[in-house]
Structures are given as C-alpha cells and as structure tokens.
Structure 1
C-alpha cells in the first residue's frame, strides 16, 4: 500500500483535528500514513508558507479553519495542486446551525476558551492527580468516579483520561493482604467501578513494568498462582458490593473510559428527578 501524506491544518491547537484523524485512521490498520501537522494557522500568509510542503508531499488535506478568507486561500491552492481538501467539522456545524436556528460564531479555538468548563477540567485533573493510587481517601466523596482494581489494571491512565474529559476520579489498588479503607464502602456520590483483566495478560504487563525499572528477578508480583488469586479477590469484592465491572483485557484506555462514562450517565439518568417521576 503506498504511503499517504495527511496534512492537518487548524486555526487553533489542532487537538480536535488530531483526534478526528486518529479515530478515522483506526479503521485502516494497514495504512501507511505520514501526518504533517500545522496548528495556529490564522493568516493567508501562513497558508502560503505551508503550501510548498503540501506540494512536495501531495496527499489528503484535512482542516478546521473558520475564517472564510483563510479557508478560501487554502482551497484555491488545493484546487491548483489537484488535491482534496476536507473541512472536517462543516457537516456537524451546519447541522447544529440548522437545528438551533442560529449561525456559528466562527471564532478560532472557541472550544479551548477559558470558560467555566475549562477551569472545571483543570480542577478535575488536579483532583485526579492528588487522589491517585489510594491517596487521600478522606476526600473520595468529592469524586465523580472511583476506580478499583489490582496493580497494573489501567487505573491511573484511565483516571487521567477521564480527568481530561472533566471528571474527578480517584483510584485505589486492591491488595489481598491490605483491606481497603472503610470509607470505600460508605461512598454515596462517586460511581465505583471495578477494573479487571485476564491473569496472563496482567502478568505480561507486570513483567514489562519490572523490565522498565531494571528489575529482572522473579517475585510474587508475577507469580501465576498469586496473580490469579489477586484477580479472584478483586472480582469477589466487586460482586459482594454490586459494583459494575469492566474487563480491560482487550480494551484501549479510550474504550474503557467510554464504558465508564456510559455507566455514569445511566446511573445519573436513573437517579434524576425526571427519571424518578417517570417511574411513578
């Protein structure tokens, strides 16, 4: 398969565009793609400086440019070069404008403005970092989500991903010899989710972890019987407390986070006054 040069142009940080491109490329496992990333493109002159590189590496151009003059300049160059230029947000923006009955503001980087949601996300990240690995359990009631699982069951990376989505997340490692604090069993606000994984996959991850810290000795940390007992202990704890469980064995962090957000939404919908009224 020939290499595809993918040019990504954004008038802001480009985070949204990168996420869209990544999600789309995930559907093409064998694709050989080289990405060329151009953030903060906010003038015709900037477009003109980028075009020679696009011409030298012809391919597909994806963009999120709201200024009509700058967009037109890029599209003119792409027509001249015979290259497709795709405005990836246009379809969604037009559909929203139609249903909301108003025009989009057309301001670059508006989704990254320092509004209340931005500061809430910063607060969530700070909370999550401060409550990693079982720390500060006295503040767990402030969390939106609490993740529980044995060591190396993706608790921390999933917590950080969720924090970037604006959720306050605490997590706790489950250890057979060390019962979790009693506060875990009296929480009312957070959604408690158990993360589990296949023992053989867990052993592989733990071995890789030991290699990164130059620890080559065998230990209970990677002993097959020991690890299987840890997983059984965690599963029993989840079942005894009726906590939802997600098996992360074949899930990416993004997939695990999406499942957790769905669980939280379902719980909140069930607990909302409207849902309660409907049930009556």
Structure 2
C-alpha cells in the first residue's frame, strides 16, 4: 500500500490543522497516511526548510494554519509551483468574517488555543459539579461559586450542570428532614447559597414519573402529599434560617432559573 505524506504546519501547536486533517481523512478509511507535524513555525526561513524537506516525497499534502499572511503566501506559492495540494485552515474563515463585518483582522498566533482556556474552565466546572453532586461532599460548598439547596426533584443537579457549562462551579445539597443539615451551609456567606422550591402538585407528578421510569411503585412515601408538605416546610425553615435567596422553579425552565442565579452571582460579584 502506498504511503501518503501529510504535513501539518502551524505557527502555534497545530491542533486546528490536525483536527481538520483527521476529520477529512476519516472519509478515506482504506488509505495509509503518515503525519509530519511542525509547530511553532513563525518565520519564513523555518517554513522554507520544512517545504524543502517535503519535496523528497511524491505529492505531499499540506494542512496549514498561519496568522501571518507572509507565511500563508509562502506555502501557497510553493504548493502552486510544485502542484501540491494544500488546505489553508484559517484564511477562508477569517476572510469570510472580514467580508461580512467590514473589519480588518488582527493576526493572533494560537488564537484557538487561547480560546480553549474557556473550554477547560467549563470542563473543570463540570467535573466539580459531578464530584459534589447531591451532597456527596458538602465541603465542596467552600470552594464553589454557588451552592444549590432544596428538596428532591427541584432540578438541583440539572441546574448545576447548566451552570457548569457557563464555567460556574456549582454544588448541590438535598434537604431531607431525617438528615442533619451540613454545618458548612451555615458557615459560608448566605449570598452564595440559592434555595430551590417547587409546588407540591408538581413535585408529586415529577416524583411519580421518576419512580415509574425506574420500574418502581409510584405510590410510596416519596410521592405522598403529606410527606412532600413536610419536606417543603422543613426546607423553607432551613432556607429562612440561612437567609438565602429562594427561587420557585414550579413554572420555570432550567434556563430561566439559571439566568436568575447568574444575575444574582454577578450582583454580589461572585462571578
């Protein structure tokens, strides 16, 4: 089988060009490709040395990503002269945005990598939400941006995951009459705690649907109206003692609740 040489060349770490190359190569599962990756190529001399080396192969293919127009022009002219195929990963997108916005682009090397800091922040927040979900370790409240408390089925976990996708570190702690309230709840600023409540009627419906989805009997103390009133009363007493904001989620989508939480956190300079 013939080996095809693919050159990944970038002025940064080359992930952008390599990702595009890999996505394209998946359309050719029976072909054999070998990667030659060159990163931190920031001057013409370095680039020309790589291009000279590539001439030893028959029809090398280039995937490149440069913020510099000089380097982009250099590799483009080289490929045209030698009739090699090349994929300019960055320029078409930049030119399309420039044409639409009538703005002149400012070349920034490694721009995607810089933006990835936001991605890693979201990943860290998601991992945080999972680690401290459902009161697994109430101590997480100390380092959280916000702590969500409430009775079962008030959408505490979905809310925390939604906030995590906004890079907000959220933990949630269920309030159950039979269980002691974690001391840490009263030790952190009340402003970083948000209480969630729901109508008894909606809680009954949600809890019964939950039990049915698990193949369990829907008529238990968990779905008993008197028990739900007891839980809500207990939770309200705890929230009143803390002095934290309370959101009624009975008529709100997760996005609406999250928006209220985010606005509150911004108001108190927590995020």
**Is this a same-fold pair by TM over 0.5?**
yes
Q: Say whether the 8 Å CA contact 1:238–1:245 is kept in structure 2.
A: yes
Asked if 1:212 is matched to 2:213, the reply is yes
Q: Say whether the 8 Å CA contact 2:191–2:244 is kept in structure 1.
A: no
* Partner of residue 169, structure 2: 168
Aligned-partner SS, 2:228? helix
Q: How do residues 151-162 of structure 1 correspond to structure 2 at under 5 angstroms?
A: 151-162=152-163
- Distance in 2 separating the partners of 1:215 and 1:182: 34
Q: Report the alpha carbon displacement of residue 66 of structure 1 after superposing the two structures with TM.
A: 3.9
Q: Say whether the 8 Å CA contact 1:141–1:189 is kept in structure 2.
A: no
Indicate how the Cα distance of structure 1 residues 152 and 173 shifts in structure 2: closer, same or farther if over 3 A, else same: same
Asked if 1:128 is matched to 2:139, the reply is no
Indicate how the Cα distance of structure 1 residues 147 and 127 shifts in structure 2: closer, same or farther if over 3 A, else same: same
Q: TM-score, normalised by structure 1?
A: 0.57
Q: Report the alpha carbon displacement of residue 142 of structure 1 after superposing the two structures with TM.
A: 0.7
Structural RMSD (CA): 3.3
Q: Say whether the 8 Å CA contact 1:141–1:190 is kept in structure 2.
A: no
Unaligned stretches of 5+ residues in structure 1: 1-11, 13-64, 73-89, 273-280
* Partner of residue 248, structure 1: 249
* Partner of residue 137, structure 1: 138
Q: Say whether the 8 Å CA contact 1:112–1:118 is kept in structure 2.
A: no
Q: Deviations over 1:78-114 (max 9, x none)?
A: xxxxxxxxxxxx6xxx5xx9xxxx745599xx77965
Aligned-partner SS, 1:167? coil
* Partner of residue 187, structure 1: 188
Q: How do residues 194-209 of structure 1 correspond to structure 2 at under 5 angstroms?
A: 194-209=195-210
Indicate how the Cα distance of structure 1 residues 202 and 111 shifts in structure 2: closer, same or farther if over 3 A, else same: farther
Q: Deviations over 1:47-99 (max 9, x none)?
A: xxxxxxxxxxxxxxxxxx94546999xxxxxxxxxxxxxxxxx6xxx5xx9xx
Q: How do residues 1-280 of structure 1 correspond to structure 2 at under 5 angstroms?
A: 66-68=93-95, 94=101, 103-104=104-105, 114-188=115-189, 191-268=192-269
Q: TM-score, normalised by structure 2?
A: 0.59
Query: Bigger CA drift: 229-238 or 199-208?
Result: 229-238
